Structure 1
Amino acid sequence: MKETKNSGLSFLYKNRKMFAMALLLGGVVGGGISFFIPKKYLSTAIIYPYNSHTRENLVVNPQFGFEVETEQLMQLLESKSMFYRTVEKFKLYDYYGVDTTQNTWHSELSMKYISDVNFYRSKYLSVVINVTMEDPNLAADVANFQVEEVDRYRDAIFRDNRERELAIAELEYTNSGKQLAALKDSIYDLVENKALLYNFVENLDNENFDPSAFVTSPKLEVLVEEYVFELGRNREFRTTFNEMKEALLSPLPSVYSIDTAVPSYKKVSPSFILNILIGALLVFLLTLTFKMVGDKWHSLRTESK
């Protein structure tokens, strides 16, 4: 073990000039390449999720969302719909120079977008939006667009579902009204005084009211019972429909914007020092490998003679 270590150190020392030149050359190459790599700038926005989907609850209990809400917000931000919305808003296929006539343009665009636009959940349960692009102003605009658009996207998802439910509630209310009108017509066919039905309904909750003056036959009694039952259902349907309609007209709560992205003109890549170190290391390892292989080859040829 000790002999191997000494042999390795001896090998490095013996070829120190070569390896020093390799390190120097690699550093120069790495530093030179840095000037040809496009500069990129980082913009960051930080948001917290809502803890309720209604403004009334937010007024009573104004808190940030918890882990579940944060995960839901992350899923929305990372969705394909948000990707398409961002691409169309800023024409990112032009920014990335993607040829849309090629079959692979969508995959290429998606990979570049994912590389530049990142989301992660912080330990404080906030969502951090990092956008790295060659244009600092574009990076800030894209980051802020995520904050603004995710509310509109969520509203669109909920609105589709809520409108379907509202349509069902409206249909139930309408059908109940038709049934109520049909029962009323059937009752009117059996009674002469039309005002008695109104008086009967108005006094349903009056314990001292005597319905015998109105309900004069078994058939009429059955119709009145059905009418009273349907009237109760109709009132419930109307209340549900009005509540859902009011809720649909009310805007959903927005995410909490903690930090708005601003253009940063300090580049985050390429790193001049890092490229020098990487270049020096790569050329050194390449030189070391060739030297060891060359010495081994020379040794084998010598032994074969």
Structure 2
Amino acid sequence: MTLFPQESRDALSMLALLFRHRKLLTIVGLVSLVASFCVTMMIQPKYLAFGIIFPTNSNTRNELLSNPQFGYEIDADRMMQLLESEYIRNTIIDKHQLIEYYDIDTLALDWKLRLDKQFVKDITFFRSKYMSIVISANMHSPQKAAAIVNDIIDLVDKFQEKVLRENMTGEYEFQHTLYVQKKATVDSLLERIYAIKKPTGPEDLLSNYFIMASQQNVPKEAYDYVNSTELENLINTYRYQRARLQALTDANESARIALERPIPKNYVIDRAKPYYKKSYPSYTLNCLIGTLGSLLLVILVLLFRRKWQSLQTEVREEAGAHRVA
């Protein structure tokens, strides 16, 4: 005695149905296989190319030399944002004429949306578990796919430098403006001091005064240089502003050196090479899907037909029973 008699009967009935129509299923399977193969041959093939890069863990050469490591998760995430930026996308679209490649009608209102969808479908960026970035392109030409990947590898370095340079240039201009303003203030104070106490020779009397005043056993002549309250106030202000000028000079010089220093490039592990093995379409996958899909459709039609015939038989039997009654 079986636990599921109804299920067993249904399974046997299904097997009987398949065996009864085995010739039909065989013919459909063979025809579908040949048709799938022919259709796959007519599809324009695509070829995959990919490259691998690692971000740096710093944007300054000093830190990179002292700690030469690949970037961490946050560095990889930042690199992904740069790669997925509109600047990278538009530059590649223009350079490789992808509007013509995808045959996009620019007169349509949604042409940019359709172009971007095709771009993100064929050109992808993937962050691996090792924090590397895999850049891949799937195009109809293996040379074009490799060229796009390599251009993106080069372009992301330039784009990253462009973004960093913009911020560094702004910082340098800000520091330089403060330096120029402070230098003008110091020069103005110096002119006012010498307007009150004119030098009697070519030597810098004010500098000599600062040197002598900082020493012990200073001659009385050093203090005689400051002989008025106004001059004393100006000199004190000058000394303070000159110290501030020195700090701004150092900051301005640091910003200038940072601006002139080269930006470290990303680590390129693999550049793309043309691969002539088709990535799309797959004969095996297409034939398998086409054949199984056709067989499934035929089986569903046979099941529906059997169910319909069963219902018709039941209706006729009920009608005959009513007439007899």
- Is 1:218 the counterpart of 2:243? The answer is no
Cα shift readout 1:50-99 (whole Å, capped 9, x = no counterpart): 11101222222221111111111111111121111111111111111111
Among 205, 212, 235, the alignment partner of 2:246 is: 235
* Displacement after TM superposition at 1:10 (Å): 2.3
In 1, Cα distance between the equivalents of 2:139 and 2:231? 78
Helix, strand or coil at the partner of 1:5: helix
2:33 corresponding residue in structure 1: 27
In 2, Cα distance between the equivalents of 1:264 and 1:29? 28
2:175 and 2:248 in contact (8 A); partners too: yes
Among 313, 316, 319, the alignment partner of 1:302 is: 313
* Displacement after TM superposition at 1:208 (Å): 5.5
In 1, Cα distance between the equivalents of 2:254 and 2:164? 16
* Counterpart code for 1:245: R
* Displacement after TM superposition at 1:240 (Å): 1.0
- Is 1:267 the counterpart of 2:278? The answer is yes
1:38 corresponding residue in structure 2: 44
1:4 corresponding residue in structure 2: 10
Relative to 1, partners in 2 of residues 1:279 and 1:208: Cα closer, same or farther, differing over 3 Å?
farther
Among 31, 38, 48, the alignment partner of 2:54 is: 48
In the alignment, structure 2 segments of 5+ residues that lack a partner are 1-6, 317-325
Among 285, 296, 299, the alignment partner of 2:296 is: 285
Relative to 1, partners in 2 of residues 1:279 and 1:199: Cα closer, same or farther, differing over 3 Å?
same
Cα shift readout 1:252-289 (whole Å, capped 9, x = no counterpart): 00011111111111111111111110100111122122
Large movers: runs of 4+ above 6 Å? none
* Displacement after TM superposition at 1:116 (Å): 0.9
In 2, Cα distance between the equivalents of 1:266 and 1:64? 32
In 2, Cα distance between the equivalents of 1:82 and 1:4? 59
Relative to 1, partners in 2 of residues 1:35 and 1:206: Cα closer, same or farther, differing over 3 Å?
farther
Relative to 1, partners in 2 of residues 1:244 and 1:99: Cα closer, same or farther, differing over 3 Å?
same
TM-score, L = length of structure 2: 0.88
Relative to 1, partners in 2 of residues 1:284 and 1:216: Cα closer, same or farther, differing over 3 Å?
same
2:265 corresponding residue in structure 1: 254
2:63 corresponding residue in structure 1: 57
Among 171, 194, 210, the alignment partner of 1:188 is: 194
Larger Rg computed on CA atoms? 2
TM-score, L = length of structure 1: 0.94
The number of residues matched between the two structures is 305
Aligned counterparts, 1:111-260, within 5 A: 111-193=117-199, 195-202=204-211, 206=215, 212-260=223-271
Q: CA RMSD in A?
A: 1.8
In the alignment, structure 1 segments of 5+ residues that lack a partner are none
Relative to 1, partners in 2 of residues 1:274 and 1:185: Cα closer, same or farther, differing over 3 Å?
same
* Counterpart code for 1:41: Y
In 1, Cα distance between the equivalents of 2:22 and 2:250? 89
2:51 and 2:272 in contact (8 A); partners too: yes
Relative to 1, partners in 2 of residues 1:202 and 1:144: Cα closer, same or farther, differing over 3 Å?
farther
- Is 1:100 the counterpart of 2:111? The answer is no
Higher relative contact order (Cα pairs below 8 Å, separated by 6+ residues): 1
